[in-house]
Amino acid sequence: MLYVPRVEDKNSHMRMLRISRMDDLVANSMNILEPSPVDADGNQHEDVMLANHPVDLFLLPGLAFDKSGRRLGRGGGYYDTFLRKYQERATEKKWKQPLLVALAYSTQIMDSGVVPVTPHDVSVDALVSPSGVIPMSTAALERM
């Protein structure tokens, strides 16, 4: 199953909606493709927060990362807010926490401790770059 982010407002509220085909995506006001609330047949897209099964992996964007797992986004807190809520749900359901993986070019990867963080930031478990996979957490090491 594939869930894709949809920004709901400017208050860091984002949902992940299940899509089954590319036609489920529409351009938002910034011309970024995201799922519409309903599919072409008029059916509501499933929200990952209401799903009856856990997510194994989230692929995350970012501007910069360091080798300790810190992630610098665009400053809106959309992913951090969403991920904290999902992690709480996974804990409540007694599900294994999803692996948080970011895709990065080698030039986006800094030395440990370089990327600034706040207490609300969620770290990634692994980075995937053209050079290969860089595990950063015990969860990543266990699953590789």
Could you tell me which CATH class the domain 54-144 is placed in? alpha beta
Whether 69 has a binding-site annotation, put simply, is no
Would you say 71 and 60 are in contact if contact means Cβ atoms under 8 Å apart? yes
Whether 77 has a binding-site annotation, put simply, is yes
Q: What predicted TM-score, i.e. pTM, was given to this entire model?
A: 0.90
Q: Give the least confident one: 37-41, 52-56, 138-142.
A: 37-41
Whether 71 has a binding-site annotation, put simply, is yes
Whether 79 has a binding-site annotation, put simply, is yes
Whether 57 has a binding-site annotation, put simply, is no
Burial 86-104 (b: 16+ CB within 10 A, else e): beebeeeeeeebbbbbbeb
> Looking at the chain, which residues constitute the CATH 3.40.50.10420 domain(s)?
54-144
Task: Compute the mean pLDDT over every residue in the chain, rounded to the nearest whole number.
Answer: 92
Whether 25 has a binding-site annotation, put simply, is no
Give per-residue pLDDT as tens, 89-139: 999 999 999 999 999 999 999 988 889 888 889 999 999 999 999 999 999
